[in-house]
Amino acid sequence: MADQNILIIGSGFAAAVTVIHLVQAGIKPATITIVGPGALGAGNAYGCDDKDFRLNVRAALMWIWPEKRDDFGLWAKANITDDPEAVQNSGNFYRRRDFARYVKSCLDTVLADASAPHNGITHHQQIVTSLGTADSGGWQASLDDGRLITADHVILATGNPTPQWPCRVNHAVMASPATAKLLVQNPWDGRWLDHVTSGSRIAIVGSGLTALDAITALARRNHQAQIYLLAPHGNLPPVQADWVKQGPPIWPKPPRPSKILRRFRSYLPDLPPEDSRWQAAFEELRIDINQQWAALNDDDRRRLMRRLGWLWSRYRYRAAPQTIAAATRLQQSGILDICHARLTAINPGDDTPLRLDLTGAAGEVRCLDVDYVINCTGAGQDPFLASLVTAGIGVADAFGKGLRVTADNQIIRPDGSASKNLLMIGPQMASSLGDVVAASEVSLAAIRVAGNFAEQLVGRGKRHDGGIDA
C-alpha cells in the first residue's frame, strides 16, 4: 500500500502546493507524477512574464502554509530587488511572475528536504486528453503525445479553463492566419503584448482583473491608439483598500438564499465600497460563507447566485492599486474608452482588419473597427472535465462548470458515492464548495488532501484545517 502512485493532472499552483503538502505529509516524491505544460507552479495564473501582471491581493494573503502567512512577504523582501512599485499604502502587490519564482523555491526546498530514498517527482509537460479506469483498478490517463500513464490515485488540478469567445466569430476571420492572429482568445500569459504596436486600435472584451492587466501593460508600453473596453456595465473592479477584518457575522439559521441575501444587505455599511470599512465588512461576510453555501441545495445555490451574483463578482475580486492607477491615467488621456456595450460578433473589416458588432444597453446596434480583440472575459469550459461527465466518471456541478466534489475533495460518481482515488483541487470546485478560488484556499485544499493521503498511505493523521483568507 505504501508506494501507491499518484498522478496529478495539471501543473499550476494547485499541483505545486499539492506536491509540497504531499511530500511534507510523508509521501515519497518518486511516487508522484505530474502532467501539465510549463514550469510546475506557474499555471495560467502565475505563468506570465509581463512585469505589469500583478497579484490582486497583498503578499500576506498568498500563503502555502497557514502557520507561515508572512513567508512570501519575507521571501519577496529578500529576493525581489527590482520592483519598488510593489509597495503600496494598502499592502505589497508583487508581480505574478515573482510569485511563481517563490513557489518554485518552496518546491525546491521541500523536494530537497524530502527524506531518502528521493528520486524526485516525474513531470511530463503534456496535456491529459482522457482518463479511464485501468484493469488494475486504478486509472489510466492518455496524454496528447500518445503516452499512457497508469496511477492508483489521480488528483485533478486542471485549474482555470481556457476562456472562450463570448460571441460569434466569423469563419473568414479564423480561416485567415493574418486575421486569426489578431484575436487573442487567452491573454493570461501576456505574450500577445509583444506583437501589438502602439498604433493598433484594440478592443478589450470584459472589464475584470484580466482587462485591467491588459490596460496596465499597454499603458506601460505608452500605447497611443484607442483602446475600447467593451463591457455592458462598464465598471472596472474596485481597488483593494487597506482593510482589517474582525470576526465573522452571525448568520441566520437555517441558511436560505433570502436570509443570506438579507444578511449581506444589513451587514455591509452604508459607505462607498471603496471605503476600507466596507471592504472589511465584505471580507468578514466571506469568513463562513462556505458553510452557508454547503447547506444549500442546487436550486438554492442557483437562486442565491441569481440575486447575489452581481455583487459577488463585482466586489469579491478587487484590483491591485497599480492597475487602477494605470487605467485612470489612460482614461484621462482619452486613450481608454469605456463602451457600455456587449460584443455580439467579430467580422472581417474593410478599413481595419476587424469589424465588431456591438449591442448597447438600450439594444442599439453599432459597429467598431479595430486591429486587435483581446478576450478578457475569463469564462470558459474545461473539455477534459466535461469528458469525465460524459464517461460517467463524475457528475456536473450545479452550474455545469466543473465536477461535483465532497468536502474532502473526492469526485462524486453518478450513483452519488464518493471516489476515494479520484480527487480535485482548485478553482473548479467553487460550485461545490463555495469561495475556494484564491491561492490560500487552494493551499488549504492541498493540505486537506495530503492529510487524507498520509492517513491512507503512510498512516499519519490530518494536520490542518482553516477558513477563508484571501
Question: Contact residues for ligand FAD (CB under 6 A)?
Answer: 9-15, 35-38, 43-45, 55-57, 127-128, 157-160, 188, 210, 384, 426-427, 437-439, 442, 470
- Separation between Cα atoms, residue 304 and residue 298, nearest integer Å: 10
SS3 content of the chain, % helix, strand, coil (to 5): 35, 20, 45
Pick 15 or 149: Cβ nearer ligand FAD: 15
Pick 369 or 408: Cβ nearer ligand FAD: 408
367: its cell numbers: 459597429
Pick 37 or 348: Cβ nearer ligand FAD: 37
Q: How far is the CB of 91 from ligand FAD (least distance, A)?
A: 12
- Separation between Cα atoms, residue 168 and residue 382, nearest integer Å: 19
Residue type, 7: L
Q: How far is the CB of 162 from ligand FAD (least distance, A)?
A: 8
Q: How far is the CB of 298 from ligand FAD (least distance, A)?
A: 23
Q: 166, 344 in Cβ contact below 8 A? A: no
84: its cell numbers: 519598488
Pick 10 or 349: Cβ nearer ligand FAD: 10
What is residue 334's three-state secondary structure? coil
Pick 35 or 64: Cβ nearer ligand FAD: 35
Length of the chain as a residue count: 470
- Separation between Cα atoms, residue 204 and residue 200, nearest integer Å: 12
Pick 11 or 323: Cβ nearer ligand FAD: 11
Pick 79 or 197: Cβ nearer ligand FAD: 79
Q: How far is the CB of 41 from ligand FAD (least distance, A)?
A: 8
- Separation between Cα atoms, residue 203 and residue 368, nearest integer Å: 9
What is residue 367's three-state secondary structure? strand
- Separation between Cα atoms, residue 200 and residue 203, nearest integer Å: 10
Pairing relationship of beta strands 139-143 and 91-92 according to DSSP bridges? unpaired
- Separation between Cα atoms, residue 185 and residue 162, nearest integer Å: 8
Q: DSSP alpha helices (H): ranges in 151-236?
A: 171-175, 177-180, 209-220
Q: How far is the CB of 14 from ligand FAD (least distance, A)?
A: 3
What is residue 37's three-state secondary structure? coil
Residue type, 180: A
Q: How far is the CB of 103 from ligand FAD (least distance, A)?
A: 9
Q: Which of 427, 422, 409, 453 lies closest to 24 in space, CA to CA?
A: 453
Rg of the chain, C-alpha, whole Å: 23
Pick 34 or 358: Cβ nearer ligand FAD: 34
Q: How far is the CB of 161 from ligand FAD (least distance, A)?
A: 7
Pick 42 or 338: Cβ nearer ligand FAD: 42
Q: How far is the CB of 210 from ligand FAD (least distance, A)?
A: 6
- Separation between Cα atoms, residue 375 and residue 66, nearest integer Å: 35
Q: How far is the CB of 57 from ligand FAD (least distance, A)?
A: 5
